[in-house]
């Protein structure tokens, strides 16, 4: 359908090459629309994150759902786990926790640094996770992942948190309680604390404090003339697909 509308599809892009905005304008394009999404996983930056058994939720869910690791006749590798810790409190964290249960884990912990009231996951997602016997460790934050001596995860050490004054998001800021730790014996840690945009090739475009593209919320214009951006690569970051689709439709009219 796109090619019938005279859309050119560039499918022979050179692997490993970054195509810059300037190069696109030099090729004669009059406007550039950026809808690259937020595909890069975020990690906690703690000791032990390079151990075998540490996944991003992106990778874990992709291996199971898209690459069909749950089927025995597929060769997609996935770690067989009995105990897993999923770090985060959003819908992706609930997805990862429930998938881990369905993949045969006996104990799955959702580790979240705030209380349940502050969890960004939808209420029904939390409810269904509890129905599937996912265990919640609230007001709890990982500080390091422990090695079994052979480069594999054997446990995650967490510190107890308490809620302080509200931060920029409007939620109460989690503050560590000195000296209060808990060690969860797990062989897998899944980071579900968010995703970020890959802004390589967008040099010269103003980024916001989150390191993603800053775009006007009504005109979708960026700081570079002729460059428009919408969706997860802009402003607030990762959200739901339908919001990005709506923005893209409105932006197309502005570009036109």
Q: Taking the CB of residue 12, how many other CB atoms lie within 10 A of it? A: 5
Query: Among candidates 179, 187, 197, 126, which has minimal Cα distance to 152?
Result: 187
What string of pLDDT tens digits covers the 256 residues of the chain?
888 888 888 776 665 666 778 888 898 999 999 888 888 888 999 999 999 999 999 999 999 999 999 998 898 988 889 999 999 999 999 999 999 999 999 999 999 999 999 999 999 999 999 999 999 999 999 999 999 999 999 999 999 999 998 887 788 899 999 999 999 999 999 999 988 877 777 778 898 877 788 999 899 999 999 999 998 888 766 777 888 899 999 999 999 9
Give, in order, the Cα–Cα distances in Å from 146 to each of 53, 187, 189, 192.
11, 10, 11, 19
Distance of alpha carbon 198 from alpha carbon 195, whole angstroms: 10
pTM equals 0.80
Strand 140-147 and strand 153-166: pairing?
A: antiparallel
102: closest CA among 69, 74, 146?
69
Query: According to the model, what pLDDT value does residue 60 have?
Result: 94
Picking from 136, 121, 138, 128, the residue whose alpha carbon sits closest to that of residue 99 is 128
Residue 182's CB is within 10 A of a number of other CB atoms, namely 12
C-alpha to C-alpha distance for 154 and 151, rounded to whole angstroms: 9
Helix (H) or strand (E) segment spanning residue 55: strand 54-56
pLDDT of residue 122: 94
Give the pLDDT confidence score for residue 13 in this predicted structure. Answer: 63
The sign of the dihedral angle between the CA atoms of 207, 208, 211, 213 is negative
Between the CA of residue 249 and those of 114, 216, 243, 253, what are the distances in Å?
A: 36, 15, 10, 7
Q: HSE (CB half, 13 Å, CA atoms) of 140?
A: 20
pLDDT for 137 equals 97
Instruction: Give the Cα-Cα-Cα angle 171, 232, 170 (nearest 5 degrees).
Output: 10
Burial 72-109, CB ≥16 within 10 A → b, else e = eeeeeebbebebbbbbbbbbbbbbbbbbbbebebebbb
pLDDT at 7: 83
């Amino acid at each position: 359908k796109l090619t019938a509308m005279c859309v050119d599809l560039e499918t022979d892009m050179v692997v490993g090459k970054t195509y810059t905005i300037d190069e696109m304008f030099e090729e004669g394009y009059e406007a550039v629309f950026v809808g690259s999404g937020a595909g890069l996983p975020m990690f906690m930056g703690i000791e032990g994150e390079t151990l075998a058994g540490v996944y991003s939720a992106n990778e874990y869910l992709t291996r199971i759902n898209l690459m069909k690791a749950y089927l025995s006749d597929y060769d997609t590798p996935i770690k067989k786990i009995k105990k897993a810790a999923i770090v985060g409190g959003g819908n992706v964290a609930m997805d990862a926790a429930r998938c881990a249960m369905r993949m045969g884990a006996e104990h799955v912990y959702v580790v979240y640094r705030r209380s349940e009231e502050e969890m960004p996951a939808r209420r029904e997602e939390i409810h269904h996770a509890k129905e599937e016997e996912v265990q919640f460790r609230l007001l709890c934050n990982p500080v390091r992942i422990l090695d079994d001596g052979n480069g594999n995860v054997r446990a995650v050490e967490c510190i107890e948190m308490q809620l302080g004054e509200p931060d920029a998001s409007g939620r109460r800021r989690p503050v560590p309680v000195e000296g209060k730790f808990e060690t969860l014996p797990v062989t897998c840690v899944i980071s579900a604390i968010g995703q970020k945009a890959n802004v390589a090739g967008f040099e010269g475009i103003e980024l916001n404090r989150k390191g993603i593209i800053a775009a006007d919320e009504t005109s979708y214009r960026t700081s570079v003339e002729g460059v428009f951006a919408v969706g997860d690569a802009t402003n607030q970051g990762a959200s739901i697909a339908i919001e990005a689709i709506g923005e893209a439709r409105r932006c197309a009219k502005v570009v036109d």
